[in-house]
Structure 1
Amino acid sequence: MTAADPTKPVAPKGARWWREIAWRHAVGIVMIVICVVPLLYVLSASLRPNGSLTGSTDLFTTIDFSNYTGLWGRGYGHWMVNSLVICTVTAVGTVLMGAAAAYAFSRFRFRGRRSTLTGLLLVQMFPQMLAVVAIFLLLISLKDVFPILGLNSTLGLICVYLGGALGVNTFLMYGFFNTVPKELDEAARIDGATHGQIFWTIIMPLVLPILVVVGLLSFISTYGEFIIAKTVLQSNDKFTLAVGLYQWASDERNAPWGLFAAGAVLAAIPVVVLFLILQKYIVSGLTAGSVKG
C-alpha cells in the first residue's frame, strides 16, 4: 500500500464540495435554462404554421418550414439586404474613423489633447437616442438641400450612426494603440516613411484585434438598433430588419407571429457567424485595450 502524496491537492468532498463547487454548477445550469428555453420556444413557433407565441407550451409538435418560405414574398429579403449593407458600411467607417483618431491621440502631442479625448468620452456617455428629435429635424432640413442625406435616406442613417459611434471606440482603440512601441514609428521615419505609410503598413496590422472588436461591436449595435432607424426610414423598401419585423409585431391581434419568429431566427444567423469567425480576436482585443491609457 503506497502512501498518499502530500503535495497532491485533495478534492473537496461532502458538505465542503457543495459549499465550494456544487452551487456554481447549479447557477450555471439555471442560467443555461434561462437562456436556452426562450430560443427553443421561438424556434418552435417558427416551425408551426399560423403559430402563436402564447397559448401553447408544446414544443416542436409540428415541424413545417412554410413560415420560412413565406418570408421572401413580404419584403424580408429587402430588409435583410438593407440591414447588412448599413451595418457593414457603418462598421467599416467606424473602424477607419476611430483608428485614425486613436492614432492621432496616441502618437501626436498637441495642445488640448487630453481634454479633447476626455470630453469626447464624456459626450458619448449620453445615448444617441436622446438627440433623436434633433436628428429628425436636421434630416428634414438637409433633405431640401441634399436629398441623398435627408430623411428616408440610407446614407443619412449611416452618417447618423457614424457620428454616434466615434467617441467610445476612439477611446478603446487609443488604449490599444499605446501598447504598440513608438520605436517602430521612429525606425520607419528614419527609413523615410510618412505618417500615412506608418499608419497603414505598420500600425494597422499590429492592432488588428481591436479593429475586429470595434467593427464587430459596431455591426451588432447597428444591426439591432430600432429607434433611430424607425425615425429616419419612412418607406417599406428601405426598412431594416428591426423596423420591418416591428411592423409585423405592432398589431397585437393579427400579428403573424409564425413569420415573426422565423424572421427573428434567420436574423440571428449573421451575428452568430461573425462571432464564430472572429472569436479569436475578441478577448485579446478587449483586454489589451483596457490595461493602458
Structure 2
Amino acid sequence: MATQTAAGTGRAMDASGHRRLTGRKFFLEVGWRHVVGVLAVVYAAFPIVYVFSAALSSRGTLTGSNRLFADVGLENFAALQDTYFWHWTANTLVIATITGIGTVIMGAAAAYAFSRFRFSGRRVGLTALLVIQMFPQMLAFVAIFLLLLGLGNVVPALGLNSKLALILVYLGGALGVNTFLMYGFFNTVPREIDEAAKIDGASHSQIFWTIILRLVAPILAVVGLLSFISTFGEFIIARVILQSERNWTLAVGLYGWVSDLLEARWGLFAAGAVIAAVPVVLLFLFLQKYIVGGLTAGAVKG
C-alpha cells in the first residue's frame, strides 16, 4: 500500500517513506496555522472589500454600503474627472518617486562612507543617526513651517507651497534611519572585493557605483520601497507645507473631501482611495522578492 498508518501515533507513511500527520495530530501541529492564516486574511481583506463596495455605490455614503455591492456603478470614478484628483495623483507620484530615488542615493553614499572609511567622528555620527531616528519627523513640523516661511522670503522655490521644499524635508527626515539600515547591509559585503578592485586600479567612486551598489541591490530596493510608501501616504507635513489645492498630494486631497462630516464626499473618497492603492500594490509586488533578504541580511554583521 502507498500509505501505512502507525496505530495510536496519528501519523502515516507516504510512498517515499516520510511521515505525514493525520487527523487530530495534524490539526494540533499544523492545521491550526491554516485557521489563523485564513482569519488573518479575512480580517485584512474585509476593509478593502468594504471600501471597494463604497467606491462602486452610487449613493456616495458609507452607510449605503452596509450591504456589500448592493448598488454597483461607476459614477464615483467618473466624478473624479471634475476634481483635482489626477493633479494630486501626479504630484504624489512625482514627490514619492524623487524622494525614493534621492533617499536611496544619499543613504547608500552615507552608508558606504561609514562602512568602508575610518575618519574622525565616525562613531559619534553613527550614534547620532541611531538617536535621531527615534524621533518621528512630524514632531518638527512647527519648526519646519517657520523655517520654510523665512526661507521663502529669500528663495521662493524653497518656501511654503513648494513641492521641491517638501521633497527636501522628506529627504532630510529619511536620511538617518535609512543610512543606519543600509550600513548593516554594507558591512556584509567582504572588504576583499574593494581591495581587489583597488589593485586593478579602480577608484572609490568606481567601486561604489559599479561593484558595491550591484551587490547591495536588495537593501536598495527595500529602502526605495519603504521611502516611496511612507511618502505616498504622508499627511501632516504635506498639509503644513502645501497650501494651494492644486499642489496637494493624494493624502491631503482625499482628507479634504471628508474633513467636513456634514458634507463628506465618501463616494469620491472611496473611489480615490482604490485608485491610489494601485501604484503602491504594483510596486510592492514588483519588489517583494527583495524585502526579506534586504531587511534580514543587515542583521548578520553590524
Deviation at 1:292, TM superposition (A): 1.4
Q: Does 2:17 align with 1:35? A: no
Q: Does 2:13 align with 1:13? A: no
| 1:253 paired residue among 262, 278, 290 | 262
TM-score, with length taken from structure 2: 0.92
Deviation at 1:26, TM superposition (A): 2.3
Q: For 1:243 and 1:236, how far apart are their aligned partners in 2?
A: 9
Deviation at 1:18, TM superposition (A): 3.6
Q: For 1:278 and 1:178, how far apart are their aligned partners in 2?
A: 22
The corresponding residue for 2:227 is 218
Map of 1:45-194 to 2, 5 A cutoff? 45-194=54-203
Q: For 2:119 and 2:22, how far apart are their aligned partners in 1?
A: 59
Higher RCO (CA-CA < 8 Å; seq separation 6+): 1
Question: Cα deviation per residue 1:92-113 (whole Å; 9 max; x = unaligned)?
Answer: 1100100000000010011221
- Contact 2:54 2:64 (8 Å CA) reproduced: no
Task: Quote the RMSD (CA, aligned, Å).
Answer: 1.7
Length, aligned pairs only: 292
Query: Could you say what secondary structure the match of 1:199 adopts?
Result: helix
Q: For 2:240 and 2:28, how far apart are their aligned partners in 1?
A: 52
Q: For 2:60 and 2:241, how far apart are their aligned partners in 1?
A: 32
TM-score, with length taken from structure 1: 0.95
Query: Could you say what secondary structure the match of 1:289 adopts?
Result: helix
Question: Cα deviation per residue 1:23-43 (whole Å; 9 max; x = unaligned)?
Answer: 322222221111111111110
Q: For 2:185 and 2:151, how far apart are their aligned partners in 1?
A: 37
Letter in 1 for 2:208: F
The corresponding residue for 1:22 is 31
Letter in 2 for 1:108: F
- Contact 2:100 2:227 (8 Å CA) reproduced: yes
Letter in 1 for 2:160: L
Question: Cα deviation per residue 1:15-71 (whole Å; 9 max; x = unaligned)?
Answer: x44433333222222211111111111101101113211254211122211111111
Q: For 2:164 and 2:250, how far apart are their aligned partners in 1?
A: 17
The corresponding residue for 1:279 is 288
The corresponding residue for 2:252 is 243
Question: Structure 1: which 5+ runs fail to align?
Answer: none
- Contact 1:175 1:292 (8 Å CA) reproduced: yes
Q: Measured at CA, do residues 2 and 253 of structure 1 come closer, stay the same or move farther in structure 2, by a change above 3 Å?
A: closer
Identity of aligned residues (%): 64
Q: For 1:32 and 1:205, how far apart are their aligned partners in 2?
A: 35
- Contact 1:128 1:164 (8 Å CA) reproduced: yes
Q: Measured at CA, do residues 70 and 55 of structure 1 come closer, stay the same or move farther in structure 2, by a change above 3 Å?
A: closer
Deviation at 1:273, TM superposition (A): 0.6
The corresponding residue for 2:298 is 289
Question: Structure 2: which 5+ runs fail to align?
Answer: 5-12
- Contact 1:172 1:290 (8 Å CA) reproduced: no
Q: For 1:2 and 1:90, how far apart are their aligned partners in 2?
A: 59
Letter in 1 for 2:237: I
Letter in 2 for 1:169: N
Query: Could you say what secondary structure the match of 1:244 adopts?
Result: helix
Deviation at 1:2, TM superposition (A): 9.0
- Contact 2:185 2:299 (8 Å CA) reproduced: yes
Q: Measured at CA, do residues 133 and 3 of structure 1 come closer, stay the same or move farther in structure 2, by a change above 3 Å?
A: closer
Query: Could you say what secondary structure the match of 2:197 adopts?
Result: helix
Letter in 2 for 1:9: R
Question: Cα deviation per residue 1:102-138 (whole Å; 9 max; x = unaligned)?
Answer: 0000100112212211221111110011111101110
Query: Could you say what secondary structure the match of 2:80 adopts?
Result: helix
Q: Measured at CA, do residues 66 and 2 of structure 1 come closer, stay the same or move farther in structure 2, by a change above 3 Å?
A: closer
